Amino acid sequence: MIELYDLVGANDLRFSPFCSRTKAVLRYKNLPYTTETVRFTEKHKLTFSGQDRVPVIRHDDGTVVSDSWTIACDLEERQTEPRIFPGLGHKEACHFFNLYVDNTVHPALAPVVVGDIFDKIEPGDRDYFRQSRESRFGARLEDIAARRDEFRPQLQKALADLNATLAGQEYLFGVFSYADICLFGTFTWVTRVSDEPLFDNAPDLRAWWERMQERFTV
């Protein structure tokens, strides 16, 4: 059975976008797995993986793989069907989309929701979270949260493009692929930690999100 190292917040909240992607791939491929929880201050649990981020998976044969994209490629190689890269060029397109979500959509989302995450993590992890995020953003969490309205237009632009992509089609690349899983992980994160309305001006994106939720619980 695959063992997945999964980030956990207060009250067993599983909110990591990257871990949700891995869980969605495992579910889609019907691969049984167990989870080992990791709090922000429990990085020692990941030492065996040679790095300090989740997700990490350990296969029955002892092989260890980290990074959600690398894990997706590894699982697709080990168990081809059903495919997350369904046709010629999909792996490459999904790789680009993964980079787009992580480097463009996440930076548009993060300043809008980062203040909300603080309350959702274990009190014992909050100092670490504050320190690491404040140094990443170069500002106090409360100051970022207070400027939420300033950050929203950038987020709305990204959501509008995703909405336009989904108008008249069920999935991001027409057929279901890892691109959908990738964005699904991101929205799982945001909707679990925040009440920020994502879909008020994005009906096609909302319909896609509802379809994805029918497909997966992670």
Ligand X SMILES: N[C@@H](CCC(=O)N[C@@H](CS)C(=O)NCC(=O)O)C(=O)O
When asked if residue 18 is in the footprint of ligand X (CB under 6 A), the reply is yes
Among 132, 143, 150, 201, binds ligand X (CB under 6 A): 132
Is 218:28 a contact under the CB 8 Å cutoff? no
Residue 26, Cβ density class (10 Å: 0-12 exposed, 13-18 middle, ≥19 buried): buried
- 204: Cα within 13 Å, side-chain hemisphere: 14
Of 64-72, 111-119, 137-145, 199-207, which segment contacts ligand X by CB under 6 A?
64-72
When asked if residue 208 is in the footprint of ligand X (CB under 6 A), the reply is no
Among 6, 49, 55, 165, binds ligand X (CB under 6 A): 55
Q: Which amino acid would we find at residue 17? A: P
When asked if residue 9 is in the footprint of ligand X (CB under 6 A), the reply is no
Nearer to ligand X by C-beta: 53 or 152? Answer: 53
CA distances to 105, 110, 118, 144 from 137, rounded to whole Å, are 16, 10, 14, 8
When asked if residue 202 is in the footprint of ligand X (CB under 6 A), the reply is no
Coil, strand, or helix at residue 62? coil
When asked if residue 188 is in the footprint of ligand X (CB under 6 A), the reply is no
Among 5, 40, 178, 208, binds ligand X (CB under 6 A): 40
Handedness of CA 120, 33, 210, 202 (dihedral sign): positive
Nearer to ligand X by C-beta: 183 or 202? Answer: 183
Tell me, by CB under 6 A, how many residues bind ligand X: 12
Among 7, 84, 183, 205, binds ligand X (CB under 6 A): 7
When asked if residue 190 is in the footprint of ligand X (CB under 6 A), the reply is no
Is 38:125 a contact under the CB 8 Å cutoff? no
When asked if residue 20 is in the footprint of ligand X (CB under 6 A), the reply is no
Binding positions for ligand X, rule: CB under 6 A: 7, 16-18, 40, 53-55, 67-69, 132
